C-alpha cells in the first residue's frame, strides 16, 4: 500500500468541503436557520434548554416571557427533526429566498412563526378556561417546523392543481402534501405541539391564497429601506439576496435536477443553468440560480428582476407581478407535463 509523499498535497477534508459547499451555495437566511438549528441540537446534549425557550402558555401569558414566541422556532432537541429540516427546508428555503429576497423571506418566516405561536397560545388558554385543566397551560411548542410547515403549505398552494408530490413511496396531490406531512409528524410526536404545527399549515394555506398579504408580505420599498439603513452591515454579508436582485419565478423554473428529491419541494422540471458568483445572465440582468447575490449587484439587476413567484392562482409570494414571469412559469409547467406524458407512454 503506497503512502503519499511528504511533499504532496494533503487530501481535502470531506467535512470541511461539504460545509464550504453548503456555505457558498446557500443564501444567508436559509443558511442561518439551518446552522442555528444544528447548533441548537448539539447544545441540547449539554443542557436541556427546551423549557427555557419553548412557547409555553403559562410562562408567556402569566409570567410575561414574551421572548419565547420569538426564540421558540430556534429550539431543536431531536435528530429526526434536524434531518427532516435539512431534507425539506434546504431546497425550499433556497427557492423562496432567491424569489423573495433575504429581508422579505425573513419577514415571512418570522410572521409565520409568530402567528403559529399566537394561535397556539390562544387555543391553550381558551381550552384551559373551559376545562380548568392545568396541563394545557404547560403545553409547549417549538422547533423550526413552526416555520417550515407554513412555508411548504404556501408553496403547495401555488402549484398547479394537477401536480403530485412524492411522499416516501406514494404520490399525493400537491395541495394535500402539507397535510400528509403534518399527519406524519403528529403520529411520531403527537401531543399539543401538533396544534401549533396545524396552525402553521393553515397560515401557509391562507398566505398562498393571498389572504395574509397585509401581514406576511413585505413591500419592496420597505425591504430596500431596511437594507440601506438598519440592515446595511448585514446586507454586505456573503449570500445576502438583496431585494433588487430577487429573481422571482425563475427560482422555481431553473432549479437543478439534482435538487429534486423524495422530500424536496420542486414542482417543475428545471432547466440547467450554470451558476456563477453573483453573475448576471443574458436575459437582462437576472442573477443565475445558485449564485450568491451581493449588494454590488443591485444596480445591475434592479431593472429586470421582480421578486415574485407566480403560481396557478396568480398570487405572488414576492413583491410585484410581471407578465413575462407569468408566461415563463406557465410555459415551464406545460413543458414539464408534456415530458412526463412522454415518459409515461
Question: With 50 as the cut, is the pLDDT of residue 323 above it?
Answer: no
Percent of the chain residues past pLDDT 70, beyond the cut: 67
Query: Is 107 within the bounds of a domain?
Result: yes
Q: Is 134 within the bounds of a domain?
A: yes
Mean pLDDT of the chain: 75
Better-scored residue on pLDDT, 315 or 104: 104
Containing domain of residue 271, as a range?
26-344
Instruction: Tell me whether residue 11 is in a domain.
Output: no
Task: Kindly provide the residue ranges of all beta strands, DSSP E only, lying in 63-201, ordered along the sequence.
Answer: 164-167, 170-173
How far, in Å, CA of 178 to CA of 112, rounded? 15
pLDDT, tens digit (0-9, with 9 covering 90-100), for 166-176: 777 788 888 88
Q: What pLDDT is recorded for position 218?
A: 84
In this predicted structure, what is the pLDDT of residue 329?
53
Q: Could you tell me if residue 63 is inside a domain?
A: yes
- Please give the average per-residue pLDDT across 228-239, as a whole number: 87
* Beta-carbon count within 10 A of 6 CB: 5
Give the pLDDT score at 234: 87
pLDDT above 70 (res 248)? no
Rounded to whole angstroms, how far apart are CA atoms 124 and 55? 11
Is 280 a domain residue? yes
Give the range among 58-72, 77-91, 183-197, 239-253 with minimum mean pLDDT. Answer: 239-253
Provide the pLDDT for residue 124: 95
Check which CATH number belongs to the domain holding 122 and give it: 1.20.1540.10
Interval 226-242 mean pLDDT: 87
> Measured between alpha carbons, how far is 174 from 257 in angstroms, rounded to an integer?
19
Q: What mean pLDDT is predicted for residues 310-337?
A: 50
Q: Which residue has the higher pLDDT, 264 or 174?
A: 174
Q: How many domains does the chain have?
A: 1
Q: What is the mean pLDDT of residues 1-20?
A: 68
Does residue 200 form part of some domain?
Answer: yes
Q: Is residue 209 part of a domain?
A: yes
* pLDDT at site 274: 36
- For the stretch 199-214, pLDDT in tens is 999 999 999 888 998 9
Q: Give me the pLDDT at residue 5, please.
A: 53
Integer Cα distance of 314 and 37 in angstroms: 33
Judge whether 5 lies within some domain. no
165 has a pLDDT exceeding 70:
yes
Amino acid at each position: 500500500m503506497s503512502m503519499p509523499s511528504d511533499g504532496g498535497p494533503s487530501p481535502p477534508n470531506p467535512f470541511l468541503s461539504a460545509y464550504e459547499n453548503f456555505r457558498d451555495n446557500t443564501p444567508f437566511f436559509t443558511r442561518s436557520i439551518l446552522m442555528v438549528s444544528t447548533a441548537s441540537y448539539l447544545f441540547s446534549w449539554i443542557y436541556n434548554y427546551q423549557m427555557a425557550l419553548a412557547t409555553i402558555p403559562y410562562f408567556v401569558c402569566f409570567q410575561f416571557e414574551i421572548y419565547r414566541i420569538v426564540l421558540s422556532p430556534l429550539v431543536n432537541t431531536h435528530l429526526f427533526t434536524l434531518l427532516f429540516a435539512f431534507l425539506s427546508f434546504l431546497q425550499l428555503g433556497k427557492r423562496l429566498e432567491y424569489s423573495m429576497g433575504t429581508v422579505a423571506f425573513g419577514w415571512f418566516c418570522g410572521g409565520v412563526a409568530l402567528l403559529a405561536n399566537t394561535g397556539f397560545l390562544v387555543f391553550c388558554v381558551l381550552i384551559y378556561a373551559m376545562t380548568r385543566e392545568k396541563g394545557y397551560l404547560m403545553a409547549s411548542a417549538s422547533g423550526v417546523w413552526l416555520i417550515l410547515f407554513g412555508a411548504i403549505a404556501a408553496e403547495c398552494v401555488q402549484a398547479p392543481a394537477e401536480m403530485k408530490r412524492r411522499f416516501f413511496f406514494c404520490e399525493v396531490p400537491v395541495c394535500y402534501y402539507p397535510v400528509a406531512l403534518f399527519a406524519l409528524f403528529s403520529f411520531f410526536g403527537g401531543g399539543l405541539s401538533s396544534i401549533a404545527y396545524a396552525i402553521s399549515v393553515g397560515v401557509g394555506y391562507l398566505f398562498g391564497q393571498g389572504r395574509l398579504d397585509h401581514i406576511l408580505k413585505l413591500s419592496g420599498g420597505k425591504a430596500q429601506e431596511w437594507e440601506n439603513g438598519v440592515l446595511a452591515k448585514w446586507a454586505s454579508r456573503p449570500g445576502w439576496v438583496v431585494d433588487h436582485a430577487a429573481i422571482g419565478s425563475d427560482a422555481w423554473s431553473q432549479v437543478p435536477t439534482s435538487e429534486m428529491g423524495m422530500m424536496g419541494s420542486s414542482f417543475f422540471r428545471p432547466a440547467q443553468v450554470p451558476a456563477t458568483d453573483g453573475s448576471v445572465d443574458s436575459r437582462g440582468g437576472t442573477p443565475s440560480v445558485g449564485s450568491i447575490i451581493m449588494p454590488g449587484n443591485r444596480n445591475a439587476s434592479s431593472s429586470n428582476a421582480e421578486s415574485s413567484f407566480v403560481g396557478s392562482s396568480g398570487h405572488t409570494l414576492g413583491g410585484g407581478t410581471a407578465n413575462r414571469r407569468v408566461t415563463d412559469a406557465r410555459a415551464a409547467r406545460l413543458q414539464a407535463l408534456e415530458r412526463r406524458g412522454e415518459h409515461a407512454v
